Structure 1
Amino acid sequence: MEPTALAITMGDPAGIGPELAILGVSALRNEDHVALAVVGDQSRLKLAASILQKTGRIERLPDFAVVQTRHEIDAVGPNPNVIGVVDLANVPDGLPWGEVSASAGSASYAYVVEAVKLAQSGSVDAICTAPIHKKSWELAHVPFPGHTEALATLSGAGDYAMMLRNQRLRVVHCTTHIAFRDIIQRLTPDRIVRVARLAHQYLGTVGISAPRIALSALNPHAGDDGLFGDEEAQILRPALERLRDEGLPISGPWPADTVFARAQTGEFDVVIALYHDQGHIAIKMLGIDTGVNQTIGLPIIRTSVDHGTAFDIAGKGIAHETSMVYAMRAAIDDARLTARPRSQR
């Protein structure tokens, strides 16, 4: 059996990403048929490892091996005491923890660019990203507001969407990081149709051949026949009619105060959420440390933690890796479910 190779980006070097990378790899590197490589800065990773050892989070300092090719990544995989690093050596000496900076933004963006190249070349089967800081990207003049947009452009994706998932619920978002007053303007039948198609396509690739898709309503009680708003009639129902004409198994619009509860008990395979907090609250209520952020619609597999850089605790050796481990496992699982022989990649 070929090992499943996963690239983990180090994230913002001033945040908890370096610590999460060490802890995540340490948690999974003893598993069979898994090869892991951190895309980052070897010196920063060594510093993070020393901090984690001092706080008792890891027993011993790992060795590091610089890797680049698929063969090198696979070769490091079986060694439980060695962490493979795609070393970009781009973090300035003495970079302070917990501070926004152009240097950190430029470094973390470079890790994303390199990870996409590795995935596109077949050197890895999937990528998992540690958190970046959007302000640091802005200071570094990165031409994207965040991971999702960068990954879509770098990988050549067309339509894409954010999906949050845990062991009990999947939620795909129609809109994400926009002001609440702008939601209705962005929430068009075309957007809902595209997102539902992406959700249906994704579920098919991971083995759910007849997925049950639920569309969340926008207004209380799904508008209650226009009593609380007409968006359900004017925006959501036209989208539903188009999707049903295409044969997609979608139902709704269901009131948001019940649809997520119904989905987490198994009635639906995925819920289409209409805005950021509608979907995020549902996932995080089930466990803030177990959520996984995944971009669907990309030609590569990408997962991420469902939290930020945590500058307030960065460099202290107290970060929790639970979300990182869940995200890494999710990427590995999806890579295996969608695996093709290496000669066909």
Structure 2
Amino acid sequence: MTRPIVGITMGDPASIGPEISLKAFQNKEIYEKCRPVLIGDSNVLEKVMEVLPGRRLKLNKIDNIKDAKFEYGIMDVYDMHEVDINKLEFGKVSKMAGNAAFQYVKKVIDLANNHDIDATVTNALNKEAMNLAGHHYAGHTEIYGKFTNTPNYTMMLAHGNLRVVHVSTHVSLRQACDLVKKTRVEKCIKLANKVCKDLGIEKPKVAVAGLNPHAGEDGLFGDEEIKEIRPAVEAMQQEGIDVEGPIPADTVFPKCVGGMYDIVVAMYHDQGHIPVKVIGFQYDEKKKKWNSVAGINVTLGLPIIRTSVDHGTAFDQVLKGTANEVSLENAIDYAIKLAENH
């Protein structure tokens, strides 16, 4: 099979995105599995390589995917010319950096929509910086929804055996409760089932978490499970999906980690994010560093493939050489798997 072309955004130029991109592109295994190209600004990468000389790579600056070399030791950079390097302040929120990060995302979506690349991977952007630049989106997921004309999509986080799809994400907790509706839960169950098949799982087992403590305890702690979640599960069972729920959230995630289920449908942002990050993120207080920042983010329901790192811009770690590229490498691996089964 021809190795898929994977477009990777540099993320916020003032963040750890440039550093971890350079580190990932130094991994020979990535080139053996795909043809990677970075969408960003070459002058930022050159500056980072000056400060972190151990991360040097030869840059091939292009404005057309056809000009990419896809050779190990060479970083193909779709050069966007968005950053004035003399004005860029690393590790700080800025309008210029926020606009650049947004433009990288828009370009990688355009390249995928035009079939110039097979999958997209995003580094972290800073929402405050992006909004300062006049781009008012809650995050990557909403940008992808807008520029792919996709009304129904959802976020999946994954680390190891634990995969989590979310009924809602970037809304208040009060709003999240109101968004637990039968039709939305049904859509998320369908998306969860499909992504497992796209990853090569022939007969996925889907679990659906409850919203309330003990999944409502038969209405004692809330009736969303009775009115919205259980009817959605039963409707999807009738369509042939192997799905169970609602299951109390305090037990469904360890069951998934242990192999009882292939994926969990969580009801809101933190319900799904916390268990994934407890497993994938490991902080060492003595060394004052993250030993592991693993796990990835996938947007489901889009006509194109999008995976992402599962961490933020980490402005406090910029240009220290300590930023961890594992999440980016994991996101690239997921993009490759999805592209091969697309």
Gaps of 5+ in 2: 282-292
User: Superposition pairs for residues 303-314 of structure 1, below 5 Å?
Assistant: 303-314=307-318
Pick from 68, 76, 88: which aligns with 1:84?
Answer: 76
Using the TM superposition, give the Cα deviation of residue 210 of structure 1 relative to its aligned residue in structure 2, in angstroms.
2.1
Pick from 184, 197, 209: which aligns with 1:191?
Answer: 184
Task: Say whether the 8 Å CA contact 2:61–2:78 is kept in structure 1.
Answer: yes
Residue-by-residue CA offset, 1:270-293 (whole Å, 9 max, x unaligned): 100001111111111212222101
Q: Hey, what does 1:158 align to over in structure 2? A: 151
Asked if residue 67 in structure 1 is aligned to residue 62 in structure 2, the reply is: yes
Q: With the length of structure 1 as denominator, give the TM-score of the two structures.
A: 0.91
Task: Say whether the 8 Å CA contact 1:39–1:111 is kept in structure 2.
Answer: yes
Pick from 307, 312, 320: which aligns with 1:316?
Answer: 320
Task: Say whether the 8 Å CA contact 1:163–1:173 is kept in structure 2.
Answer: yes
Indicate the SS of the match to 1:32: helix
Task: Say whether the 8 Å CA contact 1:29–1:35 is kept in structure 2.
Answer: no
**Distance in 1, Cα, partners of 2:276 & 2:250:** 13
Letter in 2 for 1:71: K
Pick from 91, 102, 115: which aligns with 1:122?
Answer: 115
Q: Hey, what does 1:300 align to over in structure 2? A: 304
Q: Hey, what does 2:286 align to over in structure 1? A: none
Task: Say whether the 8 Å CA contact 2:64–2:78 is kept in structure 1.
Answer: no
**Distance in 2, Cα, partners of 1:145 & 1:223:** 30
Letter in 2 for 1:72: D
Residue-by-residue CA offset, 1:33-84 (whole Å, 9 max, x unaligned): 521111000000111122222xx4x3xx2111123444333xx22x222100
**Distance in 2, Cα, partners of 1:331 & 1:191:** 25
Q: Hey, what does 1:341 align to over in structure 2? A: none
Pick from 223, 235, 245: which aligns with 2:238?
Answer: 245
Indicate the SS of the match to 2:32: coil
Task: Say whether the 8 Å CA contact 1:2–1:33 is kept in structure 2.
Answer: no
Gaps of 5+ in 1: 339-345
Indicate the SS of the match to 1:172: strand
Task: Say whether the 8 Å CA contact 2:209–2:252 is kept in structure 1.
Answer: yes
Asked if residue 258 in structure 1 is aligned to residue 260 in structure 2, the reply is: no
Task: Say whether the 8 Å CA contact 1:137–1:145 is kept in structure 2.
Answer: no
Letter in 2 for 1:106: N
Over aligned residues, Cα RMSD in angstroms?
Answer: 1.6
Letter in 2 for 1:312: D
Residue-by-residue CA offset, 1:1-31 (whole Å, 9 max, x unaligned): 4222111101111111111211111124664
**Distance in 2, Cα, partners of 1:44 & 1:190:** 45
Q: Hey, what does 1:343 align to over in structure 2? A: none
Q: What fraction of aligned residue pairs are identical, expressed as a percent?
A: 39
Letter in 1 for 2:277: K
Task: Say whether the 8 Å CA contact 1:48–1:317 is kept in structure 2.
Answer: no
Indicate the SS of the match to 2:298: strand
Q: Closer, same or farther in 2 for the Cα pair 1:281/1:41, shift >3 Å?
A: same
User: Superposition pairs for residues 1-345 of structure 1, below 5 Å?
Assistant: 1-28=1-28, 31-53=31-53, 56=54, 58=55, 61-73=56-68, 76-77=69-70, 79-94=71-86, 95-288=88-281, 289-338=293-342
Task: Say whether the 8 Å CA contact 2:206–2:244 is kept in structure 1.
Answer: yes
